[in-house]
Amino acid sequence: MSKDVGVRIPRPVGNGPSRFILEKEILQVSKLDERIQSIFEDAFAVLGRLDNISLVMGFHPHYLESFLKTQHYLLQMDGPLSLHCRHYIGIMAAARHQCTYLVNLHVNDFLQVGGDPKWLNGLEEAPQKLQALGELNKILAHRPWLLTKEHIERLLKAEEHSWSLAELIHVVVLLTLYHSLASFTFGCGINPDIHTDGGHTFRPPSLSGYCVCDIANGNGTLEEMFGNQQVSELSGEVEVLMEKMKQLQECHDEEEASQEEMATRFEREKTESMLVVTSEDEECVPSRDVSRHFEDPSYGYKDFYRREHVPTLRVQDYSWEDHGFSLVNRLYPDFGQLLDEKFQIAYNLTYNTMATHQGVDTSMLRRAIWNYIHCMFGIRYDDYDYGEINQLLDRSFKVYIKTMVRTPEKITKRMYDSFWRQFQHSEKVHVNLLLMEARMQAELLYALRAITRYMT
């Protein structure tokens, strides 16, 4: 009938929430789990939509609940920043990684809460106070260890364009959240939501599930293109990993490395992590659509690791638990608690399974992933043996981790498929949650340390 009266019906561009995970697998989770249905209903009631990020996070309801609570508090509840400023800062942060998915989401929200459309023409059209965040945005996104108390001082003492300390904490949390959420978005191949730019088309659906360009971009699954031969070749992957975990545990019980040896292993791993080159190392040139929301597009991680020494931040000297948490809670009441809960859930999340194996203690593997990301940021835990990382994380996994944390815009389906090929999608999504939260905490530590140094 709509056809007869000339109404054009929008159709989703992508097949389901993710380019990497079959839609039926994601929908199956929400159909089978009453708790996830209830979380989705609550999210829809609060936000008026259910975005694709939430649908993919639905594999892990306990985490999703915490994530949505944090988002709601950060974007909608009373806080130091006005509502439209919060969304604009989200746009600036997501644009740093060319994440059009998040940019479009927050452009819509920005306009909905009364934001000035002129600001969307480019950062130079926004107020001076917001423009001044450009440097903080780029340093946190790419080289957070370079942040100093002088950067903080410039923002807090800019006469009529000054930020307050409470506002700055809110800013820093927003920037670090949307940098890391861009990593998750690319890492899970999130498709645009139907109501945003690029999320719908008025053409009839194509005959095949994907176009030829998907294969050219590495977005066809290996199984679709070559059958299942690779999977059968990797049949022992999980067992090998479990055996390594068992051997490492036995070594722990027998002897412990000296402090000097532990420090050497950390430095070796940090240097090596700088030299893991992503396999898709071509230049990504941001479109004008996205690059207008941030300054200095050439500033990034590329080539930087070849010449720059990353200083070490010892967790004993500045940690989230002992220092960052209380600073956030003091300047942005109750929010430190919400953030801490989200970090803890991601880090401790386990179903005691690995692929088809039940009753597995995965804590050693989760810790290796978390500490490897922090190691890339120069953050060292004195009580951790960094030799474990090379035992538990193979090269293709390290390439994926480094790309996702550093240049997530370069992630392809081929890279997603190339690590842990026997594992389930829910386990890979769990890995992406770990990467996102570890990255956010690392950026946050450097920002909060700079603020603490300014205050003392």
> CA dist 120 to 35, 124, 176, 179, Å?
38, 10, 21, 19
SS3 200: strand
d(CA 149, CA 161): 18
Written as six digits, the tokens of 397 are 């996994």
SS3 49: coil
d(CA 282, CA 279): 9
Give residue for tokens 């191949």.
189
Count the neighbouring beta carbons within 10 Å of the beta carbon of residue 206: 9
Residue 99 is a catalytic residue? yes
Across 38-173, the runs of DSSP E, i.e. the strands, are none
SS3 82: coil
Q: Phi and psi of 282, rounded to 5°?
A: -75, 160
SS3 309: coil
Residue from 126, 101, 417 nearest 289 by CA:
101
Most distant CA atoms of the chain, gap in Å:
78
In contact, 172 and 92? CB cutoff 8 Å: no
Q: Does an H or E element contain 357, and which?
A: strand 357-358
d(CA 127, CA 109): 19
d(CA 170, CA 77): 12
For the chain, what is the total number of helices (H) and then of strands (E)?
A: 23, 6
In contact, 339 and 66? CB cutoff 8 Å: no
Among residues 85, 99, 188, 375, which one is catalytic? 99
Helix axes 34-47 and 23-32, enclosed angle (nearest 10): 100
d(CA 12, CA 193): 8
Residues tagged active-site: 99
